[in-house]
Structure 1
Amino acid sequence: MTTREVVGRYKGSAIGLGWSLFHPILLLAVYTFVFSVVFKARWGATGSESRAQFALILFVGLIIHGLFAEVINRSPSLVLANQNYVKKVVFPVELLPIISIGAALFHAAISLGVLLAAFFLISGFVNWTVLWLPVVLFPFLVLITGISWILASLGVFLRDVSQTVGIVTMVMMFMAPVVYPITAVPEQFRPWLLANPITFIIEQARQVVIWGALPNFGGLFIYLAASSSMAWIGYVWFQKTRPGFADVL
C-alpha cells in the first residue's frame, strides 16, 4: 500500500517518480538563493562558509521539516480519502498513518541521497556518523505517528482541521532552525524554538550528517520517551473515536 501510495501520486505525469527528485532540488535552489544571496545569511559566526556549504546545512532542515509536513498535512484527510476501508472492509484503519509515513520516508530518502551526493562532491567524503541518522529519526517518526493518529481522527469530525494544519506546519518551519542557526535568535526567544518538536531533530541530524559528530543520546532517549507517550495517546484516541467514523462518513 505504501508503494501504491508513492506510485499513484505521480501516475499520469510525464516525469513520474522523477518529481520526487526534481522537487527537493528545486526547493533547495530557491531557498539557497533567497537566504544566502538576497538576505546574505550565513550559518557560522564568522560567515566563512560558501554558498554550497550553506545549502547543505539548509537542506538538512528542509528534509526534516518536509518529512514532518508531508505526513501531518495529509493526516486529516487519511480516513476521508479511504472511506471504503471504514465502511465496507474489515481493515486495520490505524495503519493508514503508517502507510503515509512510509511514503514520506521514500521522498526523504531521495532527498537524503541528493544531499549526500552533493556533500561528497563538495567535501570529497561523507561523514561515517551519517549511519546514526536512523537512530536520530526513529523517535521523530514515533512522535509523527502519534500526532497523525490524532489528526486523522479529528479530520473526520472537524473538516477545518486540514486547513489549520497547513498553517501550523508552515509556522513551525520558521519557528525552527531550518533556514537560520538557533544562535541567531535572541536568548529570550530560544525556549520557543526549543519547544518546537522538529528543532531538536534538525540539530541532531546536522550533527551526524554535516558536522560528523555523534548524536546526543541522552536527549534522544528523553525525546523517545515523550514521543512514545504521544504515540500511545494518539493510538488510544484513534481507537476510541473509530466507532464513530462510519456514522459520520
Structure 2
Amino acid sequence: MRDYSASPVEMVASLWQNRELITASAKREVLGRYRGSVMGILWSFFNPLFMLAVYTFVFSEIFKARWNAASESKTEFALVLFAGLIVFNLFAECVNRAPSLILSNVNYVKKVVFPLEVLPWITLASALFHCAVSFAVWVIAYVVLYGTPHLTMMYVPFVIFPFIFLVMGLSWGLASLGVYLRDVSQVIGIVTTVLMFLSPIFYPATALPESYRGWLYLNPLTPIIEQTRDALYWGRSPDFMVLLIYWLVGALVSWIGFAWFQKTRKGFSDVL
C-alpha cells in the first residue's frame, strides 16, 4: 500500500502542484451552487447584502443596539456585527463541511486516482470567494454610510491569512475523522453554533467581566474577529505580536491536521 508523505513540504507542494485542479473545482462548486436560478451567481452578492440590511434594521431600529454607550450611530452595530460574521462564516463553512468531504466523494477514493488532500482546499477556495463578496458588500455599505474607508483595511488579508492555516488544519483532521466516526458532523454542527455565541460577534469582549474575559480569548476565533474588526471599522493597526503567535499556532495546527490526514487516508477505502 502506498505511503503518503506527511511533511510540511508535501503540504505546500501538493497545493502548488494541484493549484489548477483546486481552482477549476472551486469554480465549478461556486457556479453549481447557483445553477438553475434566475440571477445565478449574483445571489452570492445579494445574500450578504440582504443580511446586512436585515441586521441594520433589526439591531438599530428594533433593539436600538449600540456597540458602546458613547455611540449614537444606528448603523455602527450592524457593520461591526457583520465584520465579525464574515470571519465566522468562513470558519463555519469549511469546518461544517469537512467531516463529509470524503464521504460525499467516495468515487475519488475507490475508483479514481485523485489527490484527496486537496478537497479541503477546494472547500476553502469556495468559502473565500463568498468571504470576498461579503467583504465587498461591507466596504460598499461603509462607503455609502460613512465615506472613505480606513487605510488599515489593507491589513485584513494579513489578518485572515494565518487564520486560513488554522481552518485547513481543522478541515484535514475532521475530514479524516468523519470517515471513521460518522457522528462527527453532528457534533461539529453543535460546536460551531456554540462558538458563534462564545465569540465576540454580537458583543464586544469588554462586555464580559474580567474574570471571564480570559476564557473568551482561548477561543481561536476571538483574536481574528477583533483584529479584522479593528482594521475594517475602527481604523486600528493589528497587534502584530498576536498575529505572529497566531501564525505559529496556525502553521502547527495545519501541519498536524495534514499529517493526521495523510497517515489515516490509507484506511479510507476499507471503511467506505
Look up the equivalent residue of 2:215 and give its one-letter code: W
Look up the equivalent residue of 1:81 and give its one-letter code: S
Could you give the per-residue CA deviations for residues 167-224 of structure 1, whole angstroms, max 9, x where no partner exists?
Answer: 1111111101101111111112112211111110010001111111211111100011
Query: Which aligned segments of 4 or more residues in structure 1 are displaced greater than 6 angstroms?
Result: none
Identity %: 56
User: Paired residue for 1:144?
Assistant: 167
The match for 2:119 among 96, 100, 112 is 96
**Distance in 1 separating the partners of 2:238 and 2:50:** 29
2:170–2:254 Cα contact (<8 Å) kept: yes
Could you give the per-residue CA deviations for residues 87-143 of structure 1, whole angstroms, max 9, x where no partner exists?
Answer: 112211011001100000000000000000111111110111111111000110000
User: Paired residue for 2:65?
Assistant: 41
The match for 2:189 among 163, 166, 177 is 166
Q: TM-score, normalised by structure 2?
A: 0.87
The alpha-carbon deviation at position 229 of structure 1 amounts to 0.9
Identify if the C-alpha distance between structure 1 residues 152 and 198 changes in structure 2 by more than 3 Å, giving closer, same or farther.
Answer: same
Which runs of no fewer than 5 residues in structure 2 stay unpaired? 1-24
The alpha-carbon deviation at position 34 of structure 1 amounts to 4.0
Identify if the C-alpha distance between structure 1 residues 33 and 191 changes in structure 2 by more than 3 Å, giving closer, same or farther.
Answer: farther
Structure 2 residue matching 1:242: 3-state secondary structure? helix
User: Paired residue for 1:20?
Assistant: 44
User: Paired residue for 2:251?
Assistant: 228
The alpha-carbon deviation at position 236 of structure 1 amounts to 0.7
RMSD: 1.3
Look up the equivalent residue of 2:100 and give its one-letter code: S
Which shifted more, 143-152 or 88-97?
88-97
How many residue pairs are counted as aligned between the two chains? 248
2:67–2:76 Cα contact (<8 Å) kept: no
Pairing 1:103-118 to 2, within 5 Å after superposition: 103-118=126-141
Which shifted more, 105-114 or 181-190?
181-190
Q: TM-score, normalised by structure 1?
A: 0.95
User: Paired residue for 1:208?
Assistant: 231
Which runs of no fewer than 5 residues in structure 1 stay unpaired? none
Which shifted more, 13-22 or 28-37?
28-37
**Distance in 1 separating the partners of 2:214 and 2:38:** 46
User: Paired residue for 1:53?
Assistant: 76
2:66–2:76 Cα contact (<8 Å) kept: no
Identify if the C-alpha distance between structure 1 residues 38 and 234 changes in structure 2 by more than 3 Å, giving closer, same or farther.
Answer: same
2:88–2:221 Cα contact (<8 Å) kept: yes
The match for 1:82 among 92, 98, 105 is 105
1:58–1:179 Cα contact (<8 Å) kept: yes
1:156–1:248 Cα contact (<8 Å) kept: yes
1:130–1:209 Cα contact (<8 Å) kept: yes
User: Paired residue for 1:68?
Assistant: 91
Look up the equivalent residue of 2:69 and give its one-letter code: A
1:76–1:155 Cα contact (<8 Å) kept: yes
**Distance in 2 separating the partners of 1:173 and 1:231:** 22
**Distance in 1 separating the partners of 2:216 and 2:50:** 27
2:64–2:74 Cα contact (<8 Å) kept: no
**Distance in 2 separating the partners of 1:194 and 1:184:** 13
User: Paired residue for 1:180?
Assistant: 203
Structure 2 residue matching 1:51: 3-state secondary structure? coil
Could you give the per-residue CA deviations for residues 149-171 of structure 1, whole angstroms, max 9, x where no partner exists?
Answer: 01101111111111111111111
